[in-house]
A and B are shown apart, each in its own frame.
Chain A
Amino acid sequence: MGHTLAEKIIGAHVVDGDGNPAPREVKPGDLVEAAVDVVLANDITAPISLREFDKLGVDSVFDTEKIILVADHFAPNKDIKSAQQCLAMRQFAREKGVVNHFDVGQMGIEHVLLPEQGLVLPGDLVVGADSHTCTYGALGAFATGMGSTDIAVAMATGIVWLRVPQTVRFVYTGSLQPWVGGKDLILYTIGQIGVSGALYRAMEFTGPVVDQLSMAGRLTMSNMAIEAGGKAGLFPVDDTTRAYVANAQMRARAKRDFTVYEADEDAEVLQVIEIDVSEMEPQVAFPHLPENARPVSEAGDVKIDQSVIGSCTNGRLEDLRVAAEILRGKKVHPDVRCIILPGTQTVYLNALREGLIETFILAGAAVSTPTCGPCLGGHMGVLAEGERAVSTTNRNFVGRMGHPESEVYLAGPAVAAASAVTGTITAPQEVAK
């Protein structure tokens, strides 16, 4: 019997009781210990990791190259407590010699930054103290979120325990309508299976539609695997992946070799779900769960106060290009604050060089330095009581972007930009000419 992509990557990383490589075939349900290629934490999860690390009785991290620390959530420091957290992470990085510590000026939103900088590669086993670590599945890596204590142990030992997940394969067929992208595909999918529809499982995204999808679109889809409860969201590696990785490796401080794994044709999967995308419209997920997806034409009259374009879900150059295409020559509605957050310094610089930033400013949008800030109601766009936002982020839970009585509607950059212009949730084609 063949194996899925998730099983192959995990199997290749298995270690024995002494931590030595012991690759073997694994099957769903197996509990294994595995060596990690990348261990990630950020300014809100690292402080707990560092506290737990100190209790382990070790002096050094397992590998100074394989730990990545990114100050992105409440950075640039939003208040004194956040400043203390960033300081603790900075001091740890210096003391332990962690090479990949990204501070303000170099940092970006972690899940946009790491792929862009060639720090995560196909075939890698990646764990991060951030639930959206699953983003890297787009590169054909097995990547999953964990808590701070798991990450502390991984920082010390380079080893994590994992239960091998069952795989659900999604096959996307048909042809995409204009303005429909990765965000719409994943919102639609979560709408179909629900927020626990892939609980404990690996989602494998396949089919002719995703074969045509750009890396930005794939990263968006993998990013939201967790919103269906998924442990990982993986794509097969193809020429699109290889081209992206080659480009990213040119930015990399140290170029690493990688291994491409392929799912076997006879791999046993729990379920195959086929989705014909031909009739699919841009999607909007209503409060207060990402599964409340509906076609934008059925959104009704939803007046908005804020439009947020950015985040680890949709903060890549391609997303900003889509937003600019709609905002070019238009004005943001006077009742709307439109906040655009390029995901990294590189995205920002490229957007500047392409004239996108000028387009945004002329349209009356605010452009921010990279940060996760508004997505989780931290800073740079917190909502007041009764306010509504359309947002390209990934969660619309109660109070996610601010006041518990505020509301978040999730959408892709095209809907978010069009809605910023009209002041109500709007289909892109109604604004774009």
Chain B
Amino acid sequence: MKLTGNVWKYGDNVDTDAIIPARYLNMSLPEELAEHCMEDIDLSFVGSVQKGDIIVGGDNFGCGSSREHAPLALKGAGVSCVIAKGFARIFYRNAINIGLPILECAEAVTETEKGDELTVDLTAGSITNARTGKTYRTSPLPGFVMRIVEAGGLVDYTRERLQSHAARR
């Protein structure tokens, strides 16, 4: 599975209040949340983000609250993938669970600039920067996590398992 998009670059510790401020948590649909995504740290994001764009962040991306609204807002805004040096653990789970691809690759983060065009090959685990022509390898997802991703997220994965359990009984 290949994704190509332009980069929005942010620093370390992008917290969930930055991704979607808590004042909008009276809503929960991705398209509603997307209208306020990143607005407290980057007012230009909502107006300019294009479908397929890629977010590149530093360490501890998605720290703070457990709100699934954060990856939902990114997905609703059309973001195809988040690449960071590292992710906060609840955000990591949430992204996997809702089917928002995320990759850890410190080297790619360091050498990527805002506006760069990246091509991400999720299956092969590679990131290619069109500006520099450089390709980076990323560490593959743990097998158990990969099965959730392949099923299309945790809900689909669980539904399949529940059905097969029921069939065996």
Question: Which residues of the partner chain B approach A141 to less than 8 Å between Cβ atoms?
Answer: none
B-to-A contact residues, CB < 8 Å? 13, 15, 17-18, 21-23, 25-28, 39-41, 59-60, 63-69, 71-72, 86, 88-90, 93-94, 97-98, 142, 144, 153-155, 158-159, 162-163, 165
Which residue of chain B has its CB nearest to the CB of A201?
B89
Q: If A81-B27, A82-B26, A397-B18 touch, does A229 touch B89 (CB 8 Å cutoff)?
A: yes
16 extra interface residue pairs, beta carbon distance < 8 Å, beyond A150-B93, A152-B155, A226-B64: A44-B28, A45-B68, A47-B28, A57-B159, A74-B26, A130-B65, A131-B66, A147-B66, A147-B90, A153-B154, A153-B158, A199-B60, A231-B89, A376-B65, A378-B23, A397-B18
List residues 186-228 of chain A with CB under 8 A from any CB of chain B: 195-196, 199-200, 226
Flag if B154 contacts A196 (CB, 8 Å).
no
Q: If A48-B69, A229-B63 touch, does A400 touch B94 (CB 8 Å cutoff)?
A: no
27 contacts between A and B (CB under 8 A): A44-B26, A44-B67, A44-B69, A48-B69, A48-B72, A52-B155, A81-B26, A81-B27, A129-B66, A131-B64, A131-B90, A145-B66, A146-B66, A147-B98, A149-B94, A149-B97, A153-B155, A156-B162, A157-B158, A195-B13, A199-B86, A200-B89, A226-B64, A377-B21, A378-B23, A400-B17, A404-B39
CA distance A133 to B165 in the complex (A): 30
Question: Which residues of the partner chain A approach B154 to less than 8 Å between Cβ atoms?
Answer: 149-150, 153
CA distance A145 to B17 in the complex (A): 16
Which residue of chain A has its CB nearest to the CB of B157?
A153
Flag if B60 contacts A195 (CB, 8 Å).
yes
Shortest Cβ distance from residue A18 to the other chain B in the assembled complex, whole angstroms? 7
Flag if A45 contacts B162 (CB, 8 Å).
no
Question: Which residues of the partner chain A approach B72 to less than 8 Å between Cβ atoms?
Answer: 48
Shortest Cβ distance from residue B65 to the other chain A in the assembled complex, whole angstroms? 5
Which residue of chain B has its CB nearest to the CB of A157?
B158
Question: Which residues of the partner chain B approach A73 to less than 8 Å between Cβ atoms?
Answer: 25
Confirm or deny: A79 has a beta carbon within 8 angstroms of a beta carbon on chain B: yes
CA distance A58 to B40 in the complex (A): 39
A-to-B contact residues, CB < 8 Å? 18-19, 31, 44-45, 47-48, 51-52, 55-58, 73-74, 78-79, 81-82, 85, 128-131, 133, 145-150, 152-153, 156-157, 161, 195-196, 199-200, 226, 229, 231, 289, 376-378, 382, 395, 397-400, 402, 404
Flag if A398 contacts B26 (CB, 8 Å).
no
Question: Which residues of the partner chain B approach A149 to less than 8 Å between Cβ atoms?
Answer: 68, 94, 97-98, 153-155
Question: Which residues of the partner chain B approach A81 to less than 8 Å between Cβ atoms?
Answer: 26-27
Closest 9 pairs between A and B when the two form their complex, measured CB to CB: A376-B22, A147-B94, A81-B26, A147-B68, A399-B40, A196-B60, A131-B66, A149-B97, A404-B40
Flag if B159 contacts A56 (CB, 8 Å).
yes
Which residue of chain A has its CB nearest to the CB of B18?
A398
Q: If A48-B68, A131-B66, A153-B158 touch, does A147 touch B93 (CB 8 Å cutoff)?
A: yes
CA distance A196 to B86 in the complex (A): 10
Shortest Cβ distance from residue B27 to the other chain A in the assembled complex, whole angstroms? 6
Question: Which residues of the partner chain B approach A152 to less than 8 Å between Cβ atoms?
Answer: 155
CA distance A78 to B24 in the complex (A): 12
Question: Which residues of the partner chain A approach B155 to less than 8 Å between Cβ atoms?
Answer: 52, 55-56, 149, 152-153
Question: Which residues of the partner chain B approach A58 to less than 8 Å between Cβ atoms?
Answer: 162
CA distance A399 to B39 in the complex (A): 10
CA distance A85 to B29 in the complex (A): 12
Flag if A229 contacts B88 (CB, 8 Å).
yes
CA distance A31 to B146 in the complex (A): 13
CA distance A128 to B65 in the complex (A): 12
CA distance A39 to B142 in the complex (A): 25
Shortest Cβ distance from residue A62 to the other chain B in the assembled complex, whole angstroms? 11
CA distance A145 to B64 in the complex (A): 10
Question: Which residues of the partner chain A approach B153 to less than 8 Å between Cβ atoms?
Answer: 149
Q: If A131-B90, A378-B23 touch, does A147 touch B97 (CB 8 Å cutoff)?
A: yes
CA distance A51 to B69 in the complex (A): 13
Shortest Cβ distance from residue B33 to the other chain A in the assembled complex, whole angstroms? 10
Flag if A395 contacts B17 (CB, 8 Å).
yes
CA distance A195 to B12 in the complex (A): 10
Question: Which residues of the partner chain A approach B17 to less than 8 Å between Cβ atoms?
Answer: 376, 395, 397-400
Question: Which residues of the partner chain B approach A18 to less than 8 Å between Cβ atoms?
Answer: 165
Flag if A146 contacts B90 (CB, 8 Å).
yes
Which residue of chain B has its CB nearest to the CB of A81?
B26
Shortest Cβ distance from residue A60 to the other chain B in the assembled complex, whole angstroms? 12
Flag if B159 contacts A31 (CB, 8 Å).
no
Instruction: Pick from A74, A156, A226: contact of B158, CB below 8 A.
Output: A156
CA distance A145 to B97 in the complex (A): 14
CA distance A383 to B39 in the complex (A): 17
Question: Which residues of the partner chain A approach B97 to less than 8 Å between Cβ atoms?
Answer: 147, 149-150
CA distance A74 to B21 in the complex (A): 14
CA distance A266 to B22 in the complex (A): 43
Question: Which residues of the partner chain B approach A55 to less than 8 Å between Cβ atoms?
Answer: 155, 159
Question: Which residues of the partner chain A approach B144 to less than 8 Å between Cβ atoms?
Answer: 31, 161
Flag if B89 contacts A196 (CB, 8 Å).
no
Which residue of chain A has its CB nearest to the CB of B72?
A48
Which residue of chain A has its CB nearest to the CB of B90?
A145
Flag if B88 contacts A196 (CB, 8 Å).
yes
Which residue of chain A has its CB nearest to the CB of B91?
A147
